[in-house]
Amino acid sequence: MELTTSRLRLRPFTPADGDGLYAILGDREAMRDSFPMTREESDAFLERSLLRRDPPVGYALEERETPGQLAGYVLFCPLGEPGTYELGWFLRRDLWGRGYALEISQALLDYAFGALGLCRVEGETVNLRRAGRLLEALGMTRLGSETVTDCRGCPATMYHYAVTAGQWGELEER
């Protein structure tokens, strides 16, 4: 799958993305709400989940003006329930605040409910201030929460969100 917006391109990962992916997944600040990876873990994740898995669990994000330079990793993969995918994102820290996560997520939701004919897309976060606001800006509804162990081994609240094809269609009509 490949998608483009006015500023971004979403494409499959390649083996050449190893350094760029580790720069994101190994960055403690970029991954502060998840689990930062060592270089070995990042390389194994690239190989196992992004290159070999069909479909992959995510896609490479790059700015159209700098092709080949990884700007982010966008999680977009099927969940257990047919017609349901999960959406998430991790961006290079120097690109935060530019609206890239919202821009590519809107394009992915259009693709999910249009071309793929999905019924529902879900997202989750422990960070209501940043990711929670973005999920809500995408029209997702908070479904509930559960207590989990965060990357520091501490209890945290994981919030679950979802948007259906019908809800997305209503948002698009406005």
Burial code of 38-71, b = ≥16 C-beta within 10 A, e = fewer?
eeeebbebbeeebeeeeebbbbbbbbeeeeeebb
Domain that holds residue 61: 3-123
Q: Is 143 domain-assigned?
A: no
Q: How many domains does the chain have?
A: 1
Q: What is the CATH number of the domain that holds 51?
A: 3.40.630.30
* Predicted local confidence at residue 91, as pLDDT: 94
User: Residue type at 129?
Assistant: R
Average pLDDT over residues 131-136: 93
User: Residue type at 167?
Assistant: Q
Q: Is 131 domain-assigned?
A: no
Q: Is 144 domain-assigned?
A: no
Q: Is 134 domain-assigned?
A: no
Q: Is 32 domain-assigned?
A: yes
Token output for 96: 């935060």
* Predicted local confidence at residue 72, as pLDDT: 96
* Predicted local confidence at residue 151, as pLDDT: 62
Angle at 48 between CA 42 and CA 52, to 5 degrees: 135
Q: Is 51 domain-assigned?
A: yes
CA distance to 18, 71, 76, 129, 154, per residue, from 147 (Å): 33, 31, 24, 17, 10
Residue 174 has pLDDT above 60, yes or no: no
Is the bond into 12 cis (omega within 30 degrees of 0)?
Answer: no
Q: What is the pLDDT of residues 76-88, one digit of tens each?
A: 999 988 999 999 9
Q: What is the pLDDT of residues 47-62, one digit of tens each?
A: 999 999 998 999 999 9
Q: Is 65 domain-assigned?
A: yes
Q: Is 101 domain-assigned?
A: yes
Note the pTM of the prediction, 2 decimals: 0.91
User: What 3-state DSSP class applies to 19?
Assistant: helix
